[in-house]
Structures are given as structure tokens and as C-alpha cells.
Amino acid sequence: MLTGARPFGGTNISEVLAEVIKSDPDWEALPDTTPGRLRQVVRRCLQKDPQQRLHDVADLRLAMAGAFDTPVPEPTAAVTAPSLQMWQRPISVALLLVATGAVVALAVWASTRPGPPELMRFSVTTPASAPLDLGGPRPDIAVSPDGTQIVYTASTPDGSGSQLYLRTVDHRESVPLQGGENGVHPFFRRTASGLRL
């Protein structure tokens, strides 16, 4: 009635209902002389959300009298928030701190990690009568996990049996292990008290 045209167009009821659901009326079609309160009431009557719409003529009378002075928000231009500096953004600061911590940790690790193990070569001489058995599932030699000791089986000096011998990398000579008489197939194992043969 205010504009002289229907708020939603269409050639049949289906098209009109589709327009009601998907679009808003052309608010610019209201005459410039339309009072502000009447504009608010018309907007309230045509709200898509039923909870925000006026329900009956009694609500309309109260709205025209100013009982509901909460205006229906009109579409406005998007408000642009002021851009924050990088140091004002908490996520940027947190990422910067994590990256700095990672670089520091990597530098500390690189400066304190041990270098490559030192390569050592030496020979172990056994009696010709009792050569080492390096093949098979259980060899006659064992190397400690830290590489500083070698234990092997060889024959006793009189050739009557076998003996376990220990050779450390800092000594040239092997020594017979006490209690290693008739020992075979040596190995090292870790226990709660340390490394044991």
C-alpha cells in the first residue's frame, strides 16, 4: 500500500513464495516521506524470523505507538576492523616464540652432541691350536656394546681345555678371565647393576 506494488514479485504462488524465502523487499521503494517509525514497523512485519515478526494487529498498534523502539537493524556496509601489528597478534607472537625456542634447542643439541665414534683397529692373536669360530649361530667372540672390550674363547696354554680371554682396547695383551675355564660362546648382557659378561 505504501509503494503501490507488492513486496515480492512472481507470476504464480510458487514464484511468490520462493521470493519470500530467498530475498528481501526493495526498501528503497518506500516513499522518502515515510516516517521512520512506520518504516520500522513495516520492516518488523516482513521479518523472515517469526520470533522477530509482529504477531497481530495489537502488536502493530503498540509498535506504532512506540512501545517497541528497538529498531530493526538495516543492512550496513561491512565494518573493517583496524589491522593489528604483528606483535599485537597473540598467535603470531606464540608462533614466533615456538620457532625461536626450536632454533635455540637445535643449536644447543648440535653443540653438545657427541661426535662420531672414533674408529679403532687392533688384532687379537689366539693360539694356533684353538682358532676362533666366527661362523655358526654362536661365535667364540663377543664385543661389549661400548666397543671397549672383547671376550673370546681359546684353548688353555697346555691345550687341555678352553679358556675365556678378555682384551680391552687400551691393552695389547689378552688376559684369562677368572672363572672362565672351559667357557664357550661368550656374550654381554645388561643388568640392573650394569654390564655383565
Q: Helices then strands (H, E): number in the chain?
A: 4, 6
The tens digit of pLDDT for each residue in 31-68 reads: 888 887 778 878 887 788 878 777 787 877 777 777 76
Q: Is residue 63 within 8 Å of residue 41, measured between CB atoms? A: yes
CA neighbor of 181 nearest in space, from 156, 144, 148, 158: 156
Rg of the chain on CA atoms, in Å: 47
Is residue 151 helix, strand or coil? strand
pTM of the complete model? 0.35
In this structure, what is the dihedral angle of CA atoms 128, 133, 135, 137, given to the nearest 10 degrees? 170
pLDDT of amino acid 130: 55
Q: Is the pLDDT of residue 8 over 60?
A: yes
Q: Which three cell numbers stand for residue 67?
A: 512501545
Q: What is residue 164's DSSP assignment?
A: E
> For the chain, what is the mean pLDDT?
74
pLDDT of amino acid 151: 83
pLDDT of amino acid 87: 55
